[in-house]
Structure 1
Amino acid sequence: MTRALSDLDLRLAGLLAEAGFARAEPPLLIAADLVRDLVGEALARRLFLTGDAEGNELCLRPDYTIPVVQAHLEGSRAGEAAAYSYLGPVFRHRPGMAGEFNQAGIELLGRADREAAEAEVVALGLKGARLYTEGPLTLALGDIGIFMALVAALDLPPAWRRRLAKDFRRSGMLEGDLKRLAEPARNGSTHAGLLAALEGSDPKAARALVTDLLSIAGITTVGGRSAADVAERFLEQAALGTGGLSAEKVAVVQKLLAIDTDAASAEAAIRDLAAASDLAMGDAIDRLARRNALLAAAGIDLSAARFSTRFGRDVDYYTGLVFEVHDGSGRESRPLVGGGRYDRLTDMMTAKMGLDIKVPAVGCAFWVERLAVAGGRA
């Protein structure tokens, strides 16, 4: 059972409302398949599942973002800018802790001035955290878009771009795959004939062909995976072995990922590295520079904010800015506030709903129980 909302929690809700974020009250139960498709395996394993009388599988909301965005997209003003706030219970399996806990947060949808929206969310995240504690707060920043711009500038095959994007969001994989990239292309694959026949074909058609071949061979499942899943895996693994990357370019990736310094110095270091390596990353770096300027204008000391090019999240839908606010006193080791830009989530949801619109999205969650600990009030 969640603890009762405190006076500070209610003050936070008031602060968010005063900032122009309308209070959202989405349902407790949402479609489980929708959540699984959007959040990735790490969070999907922590869902509380149930069902309705019609046999549909549902889950208790694991956070507010998905149901808030869903309600916005289902409304009559889906293509317009909107700002939402929330405060209430969410539900996740958490070993050794209660599965139901309170969370507050904001979602800023449809804003075309992306960097301004991001700066607004970060500034409000810090302001909300400050309600709970007078002690030191630290700001950690990252930008997934910087890494993805580097991957695009290296002109890698699509399979490798997808693989490195997954690696970046999941710890422990990136170094191994960078080493693999530096190896010479493997031309002697036992599947070379099939790969040559599929080269240049439509990806859907290639998957369908491999799926049919498996079916003809009487293979319908392998280790619990369907023939279609096996075909997808085969094509990805085969493509990953068809081209290497020079050691010099792998070194550039490693240099970028080693940048971990104050936000102002990080911007300069990334720009210098891109120029020295002749990499077309200007748009992503310019977006970073505009956001930094807006954060500084909002009174945030960039020399005290930490920026790491390795900072990402294990949820697949983040696409640009990521940030966390931490307790500098050490009372609470986990993030107090966390969020970022999640355009991929809205892209996936609009595609599922058949909507031909783009909805830029950025937001953050306030972990109110951790904030209470940081403020010495737990």
Structure 2
Amino acid sequence: MNEPAAPRATGSAAWAEVLLSSFAQAGYQRAEPAILQPAEPFLDLSGEDIRKSLYLTTDLTGEELCLRPDLTIPVARDYLASARAGQPAGYCYLGPVFRYRGGRASEFLQAGIESFGRQDRAAADAEMLALGLEATSAFGLNNVEIRTGDVALFNALLDGLDLFPVWRRRLIKDFNRKISLEQDIEHLTVATGLSQHEYQGVLAALAGSDRKAALALVTDLMSIAGTTNVGGRTVAEIADRFLEQSTLKGGGLPREKREAIRRFLAISGDPDDALAQLRALAADAKLDISSTIDQFESRIGFMAARGIDTARTRFSTSFGRGLDYYTGFEFELHGSGNGAEPLVAGGRYDGLMTQLGSSTAIPAVGFSIWIETLTQLGRSAAIGSGSAA
């Protein structure tokens, strides 16, 4: 790519505009959501940890607002507010996002695609990966590393193991955030030997119950006592603690369930190898997760049909993107020399629409492109290629 010298932002935008033209030809409409967004959806869906990265302000009504830190949620909100809400629709976008990144520019360009309402999930997943690879190829990078995972498989595993709700929720949260998962599994190994307390009967009654019931009980008890928090803990945090203690009192997770989780998280390789390992695990552990594995296998077929070389695609059951709202397929494309930051990343987030206020579930999948990083690596690749010639 022998383009004339130009400021990096201008060059990046020019390359990205060409890319978006190809997305438009593929049927994706240009979206241009507002830069100033309500902060609540980002905090609710990405966790309070994101607060330190946001640029926040408050309007005259007291509503907390932020400069958009990404474009997925703003595009989704605009789609839900449109006449096409609930119908299949695809959007592409290009624009600045704002996020503190510790020593790097806080304003940077992001492009991407969001696809809503498609029921052919496996085909849509494969299309996102194929379009992501087209994006890297358009910038002159053809040998990127493809990393994939599927949080739906982990959810199905936990459902098949019939865990207490408190443990299921805790393990899923740690899986999504990529923290403490092994510690939690180790914590499940043995009973905690809780001592007798005045509220031992309450713990016994709560054992195995869901969070909503525990939260209602604790809220009522604290309301009677006239308190809203204890020692800085909220009602929700106290309810979670009660649930955790009541579950732990019942003893450790059976060895076969712990080993099934560990065996699952060790599965990695190309998708076909991983598929064989998943089916073997399901059979050995007598887990009814075949429908989720079938969806995984269907996606592999659509990937191959799209011309993706699945043999050079790395799949890992422990792979996750660190965001709570992903519900299925996840992927990242990496190039040499850009560290841990992906060039393209995305996945399936079917639960997001109801979390943003939709009365019905709407399938959704998409990806984001880090334009300036991709531009920089693309130029380096072009210079290297020219030198070699």
**TM-score, structure 1 as length reference:** 0.92
Residues 1:146 and 1:224: Cα distance change in structure 2 (over 3 Å): same
For residue 372 of structure 2, what is the aligned residue in structure 1? 369
2:264 match: 256
Tell me by how many angstroms 1:291 deviates: 0.1
State the one-letter code of the partner of 1:234: R
Equivalent of 1:267 in 264, 275, 287: 275
Structure 1 window deviating more from structure 2 (245-254 vs 232-241): it is: 232-241
Aligned-partner SS, 2:104: coil
Shift of 1:196: 3.1
Structure 1 residues 118 and 334, CA, compared in 2 at 3 Å: closer, same or farther? Answer: same
Q: Distance in 2 between matches of 1:270 and 1:197?
A: 36
Q: CA deviation at 1:188?
A: 5.1
> What stretches of structure 1 of length at least 5 have no aligned partner?
none
AA partner of residue 315 (structure 2): F
C-alpha separation in 2, matches of 1:108 and 1:193: 50
Equivalence for 2:185:
178
Q: Name the % identity.
A: 46
1:15 aligns with 2:18: no
Which segment is superposed worse, 43-52 or 263-272?
A: 43-52
Aligned residues: 372
Kindly provide the amino acid, as one letter, of the partner of residue 211 in structure 1: T
Separation in 1, partners of 2:274, 2:99: 35
Alignment of 1:68-107 (within 5 A): 68-107=75-114
> Map of 1:1-378 to 2, 5 A cutoff?
3-4=9-10, 5-184=12-191, 186=193, 190=197, 191-198=199-206, 204-217=212-225, 219-226=227-234, 228-243=235-250, 244-327=252-335, 329-330=336-337, 333-350=340-357, 355-376=358-379
Q: CA–CA distance in 2 between the matches of 1:280 and 1:152? A: 9
CA distance in 1: counterparts of 2:152 and 2:338, whole angstroms: 32
Flag the 1:343–1:242 CA change in 2: closer, same or farther, 3 A.
Answer: farther
DSSP-derived class of the 2:91 partner: strand
Matched position secondary structure for 2:188: helix
2:384 maps to which residue?
none
SS at match of 2:354: helix
Query: CA 1:212/1:40 → structure 2, altered by over 3 Å: closer, same or farther?
Result: same
TM-score normalised by length of structure 2: 0.89
Task: Find the aligned partners of 1:344 and 1:2 in 2 and give their Cα distance.
Answer: 37
- SS in structure 2 of the partner of residue 375 of structure 1: helix
Letter in 2 for 1:364: F
User: Structure 2: where are the runs of 5+ without partners?
Assistant: 1-6, 382-389
After TM superposition, give the deviation of residue 87 of structure 1 in Å. Answer: 0.2
When the two chains are superposed, the root-mean-square deviation of aligned CA atoms in Å is 2.3
Aligned to 1:6, the other structure's residue is in SS state helix
Render the CA deviation track for 1:311-331: whole Å, top value 9, x for unaligned: 01211000100001111x435
- Tell me which moved more, 34-43 or 278-287: 34-43
The amino acid of 1:85's aligned partner reads C
CA distance in 2, matches of 1:2, 1:215: 58
**Inter-CA distance 87–344: structure 2 relative to 1 (3 Å threshold):** same
Instruction: Say if 1:42 and 1:314, in contact at 8 Å, map to a contact too.
Output: no
Q: Secondary structure, in 3 states, of the residue corresponding to 1:241?
A: helix
Task: Identify the residue that residue 385 of structure 2 maps to in structure 1.
Answer: none
